[in-house]
Amino acid sequence: QQQVKQSPQSLIVQKGGISIINCAYENTAFDYFPWYQQFPGKGPALLIAIRPDVSEKKEGRFTISFNKSAKQFSLHIMDSQPGDSATYFCAALGNQAGTALIFGKGTTLSVSS
Amino acid sequence: KAGVTQTPRYLIKTRGQQVTLSCSPISGHRSVSWYQQTPGQGLQFLFEYFSETQRNKGNFPGRFSGRQFSNSRSEMNVSTLELGDSALYLCASSLDGLNSPLHFGNGTRLTVT
Q: How far apart are CA B72 and CA B66, in angstroms?
A: 12
Residue A1 has pLDDT above 60, yes or no: no
Q: How far apart are CA A63 and CA A77, in angstroms?
A: 7
Of B35, B96, B106, the CB nearest to A42: B106
Per DSSP, what are the bridge partners of residue B91?
B34
Answer for the pair A35, A64: CB distance below 8 angstroms, yes or no. Answer: yes
Q: How far apart are CA B62 and CA B80, in angstroms?
A: 10
B26 touches chain A (CB under 8 A): no
Identify all chain A residues contacting B106, using CB atoms and an 8 Å cutoff: 41-43
Q: pLDDT by residue (tens digit) across B88-97?
A: 999 999 998 7
DSSP helix/strand/coil, B113:
coil
The fraction of chain A above a pLDDT of 90, given in percent, is 82
Segment A53-67 shows an average pLDDT of 96
B108 touches chain A (CB under 8 A): no
Minimal CA separation from A29 to chain B, in Å: 13
The fraction of chain B above a pLDDT of 70, given in percent, is 98
Cβ–Cβ below 8 Å for A104 and B42: yes
Q: How far apart are CA B79 and CA B73, in angstroms?
A: 20
Q: pLDDT by residue (tens digit) across A63-111?
A: 999 999 999 999 999 999 999 999 999 999 887 777 788 999 999 999 9
DSSP helix/strand/coil, B84:
helix
